[in-house]
Homo-oligomer: A and B are copies of this chain.
Amino acid sequence: MTISDPVVALDAMGGDNAPGEIVHGAVLAARDLGVRVALVGPEEVLQAELAKHGARPERITVVHAPQVIDMKEPPAQAARQKKESSIVVGLKLIKSGKADAFVSAGNTGAIMAGGIMYIGRVRGIERPSIAALMPLSGKLTLLLDVGANADARPSYMLQWAQMAAAYMERVWKRENPTVALLNIGEEEGKGNTLTQETYDLLKASSLNFIGNVEGRELPFGTVDVIVTDGFTGNVVVKTMEGMADYVMGEIRSAIKSRPWYMAAGVLLLPAFGKVRKKTDYREYGAGPLLGTNGLVFIGHGRSDAKAISSALRVAAESARSGMLEAIRQTVLAKAGAALAADEPVGE
């Protein structure tokens, strides 16, 4: 099912820069990119924020949700109890068919838990997964899982790779996307028990599996999909952030250490700014929560207006692409193959 003019629900209260930057991002997406946005949050707050941007764009509607789930709240409990929160109300807009996708830069765990509670999993998917789109080198790589499942199993990881490949194919137009396994050596047989077993599953699948990649490869966009467990994925994403901050900070200090360096450094400021952005995966919007029965995108807590606007564009494009249907068919195809082979599906 593809949707020609999708509505994207947006959690206006999610993230460190909510509601200001989030509402600003909605205005940018609606005005400049033509995205239809359902802005979810306390009505008065949203109207006040919208008023700062002049006449409300026609393509923005406001959906009242008086409660807010804080970034630090226990995720599952908050998603269960705060039924009037912007996250839960936004997710329910998908369930009821009033929205075609949901974007939030809020409490990741609550979005994930709420997604499973209120939208449900795609039939046959064992565990949904959070993916991060890493555009560091211009060429995009989707890394998953980046934190939804700290303890993973080979069968989960195979499904994540399948869903990620469907996403890269439908939304990012990659033909027969390449898939790699994050590991501690390139050769087959390397790794821990989890990656060794996952390697075998990936190799036997119909995916375009190119083998193991090491941590060094992550920034270079050499593969379309890199699959890993949620513990490792979360640690490496944060390590990359820390390392980018560290290197840029060291350059700043080195330049400040001599007056003539300072003079040259000033000339290079725009160049450094460009590099800074390229090292920052936050710039490029939100990562999909793959495996729920609806399109959910999770932005970085520090998302600014530009990141939100970019996330809204990707969410709308995903709704248009029929990606959810592709994921459902991937799982059905697998189930069909398993039935044909007289084997149980899943675990």
Contact = CB atoms under 8 A, between A and B. Distances in A.
A235 interface: yes
A218 B193 contact: no
Interface in A221-260: 228-232, 234-248, 250-251, 254-255, 257-258, 260
A214 interface: yes
B242 A220 contact: yes
Nearest to A248: B247
A2 B266 CA distance: 53
B235 A182 contact: yes
A251 B271 contact: yes
A278 interface: yes
Nearest to A256: B271
Query: Which of A147, A216, A250, A278 has most chain B Cβ within 10 Å?
Result: A250
Contacts of A251: 251, 271-272, 275
A268 interface: yes
B250 A275 contact: yes
Query: Which of A215, A234, A274 has most chain B Cβ within 10 Å?
Result: A215
A254 B274 contact: yes
A151 interface: yes
A12 B194 CA distance: 36
Contact of A279 (B150, B235, B246, B260): B246
Nearest to A247: B247
A237 B147 CA distance: 19
A207 B87 CA distance: 41
Interface in A179-232: 182-184, 191-193, 195, 214-220, 228-232
B238 A214 contact: yes
A260 B244 CA distance: 25
Contacts of A231: 184, 191-192, 195, 232
27 contacts: A150-B184, A150-B192, A150-B195, A151-B193, A184-B230, A192-B229, A192-B231, A216-B245, A217-B242, A219-B242, A219-B243, A232-B232, A232-B235, A236-B236, A236-B239, A239-B243, A243-B244, A243-B247, A243-B279, A251-B251, A251-B271, A251-B275, A260-B267, A261-B271, A263-B267, A264-B267, A264-B268
Those 8 A-B pairs whose CB atoms lie nearest each other, nearest first: A215-B238, A215-B239, A216-B242, A150-B192, A219-B246, A254-B271, A243-B243, A264-B264
Given A192-B229, A220-B246, A268-B268, 13 more contacts: A147-B184, A150-B184, A150-B191, A150-B193, A183-B235, A214-B235, A215-B242, A216-B245, A217-B242, A232-B235, A235-B235, A251-B272, A254-B272
